[in-house]
Amino acid sequence: MSFEITAASVDEIRLMSTWAHDEGWNPGRSDPQAFAPADPSGFLIGRLDGEPVACVSAIRYGNGFGFIGFYIARPAVRGQGYGIQLWRAATQRLSGRLIGLDGVVAQQPNYRKSGFIRAWNNVRFEGTPSTVDSQVRLVDARSLPFTQIAEYDRRFFPEPRDAFLSTWLSLPDRTTRVALRDNTITGLAVRRDAQGPSRIGPLYADTPDTAAALLNSVAAGTPVAIDVPDANPAAVRLVHEAGLTPTFEAARMYTGPAPELALSQIYGVTTLELG
C-alpha cells in the first residue's frame, strides 16, 4: 500500500474538522473557513492508496512560533505508523520555531518524549451560564477598526495572526463583543455555532467583572463550551460561579519556555486546534 503526505485542499480542511467532531472535540461549524487563511499550506493530509486516513496541522505564525493541532489518525489505521509519519512532517515544517500544542491526556507522554513541556491545562467547561447584571459597556467587535482589535489580541498570542483573526471575527455564524472603557478595549469574546454546545473563544478580559459580562452577553442564555486555562484562577472561579461543569481537558505544551502572555486575562482560549 502507498502512503503519501500532501498539503490539504480546502475541502480536506473541512474533512479534518469532521474528523475532529468524530473524536468528540466539537469544533465550530464554520471554523475551517477561518483556519485556512491562517497558513494555507499548514494543513497536512495522509493518504493511503489515495484515500485520506490521517491529518495534522502545523501552522506557522510570524517568524518564530508554530502550533500543531488536528493530529488524527482514523480508527481503522491506528497503530500502523501513519500518524507518526505525519507528526514528523509537522515538526519538520515548524523546525527552528517555538512550537505549541494542546495535548489530550492519552498523548501527553508521547509529546513529552518529543520535547514538549506542560505549561498549563486548558479545561473545557460546559453549560448555560447564569445571568449577571453588569454596567460594562459592550459593543459588536465588528463595529471597531480591525487594527484596534488585532493590537489587543497581540497581548494574548505570541505572534500576529491578522489573516486568521479577521476571518474568525467576520464569519456570519459568530456573535462578537468587545468591552470598552474610554474607547479602549478591555475585553473580547466570540461565540460560534457548533454541532454541540456553542463554542466561546477567545474570552479575554482585564477584570473578572468584564469577563462575566462578556460571557453572559455572547452566551445569551444558551448552552456553551469554553476552554479555560487552569493557570488563571480567576477564570476557573468565573466558570464555576456561572454554573458550568468540566467535561474535557488538554495540556498546553511548548518545546521551550512558554511565551510571555497576559495569562491572567485569558478566560477562554480561541481554539485548541490553532492555539
What pLDDT, on a 0 to 100 scale, did the predictor assign at position 209? 96
pLDDT of residue 41: 95
Contact criterion met (CB below 8 Å) for 264 and 232: yes
Q: What pLDDT is recorded for position 1?
A: 77
What is the pLDDT, as a whole number, of residue 132? 77
The pLDDT of residue 106 is: 85
pLDDT at 133: 77
- As averages over each run of 10 residues, the pLDDT of the chain (275 residues) reads 93 94 91 94 96 97 97 93 95 98 91 96 96 88 97 98 97 96 96 96 97 96 97 98 96 97 98 93
Closest alpha carbon to 130 in 198, 246, 220, 232: 220
pTM: 0.95
What pLDDT, on a 0 to 100 scale, did the predictor assign at position 267? 98
Say which amino acid occupies 65: F
For the record, the C-alpha cell of 34 comes out as 477561518
Domains of the chain: 3-101 (3.40.630.30), 124-268 (3.40.630.90)
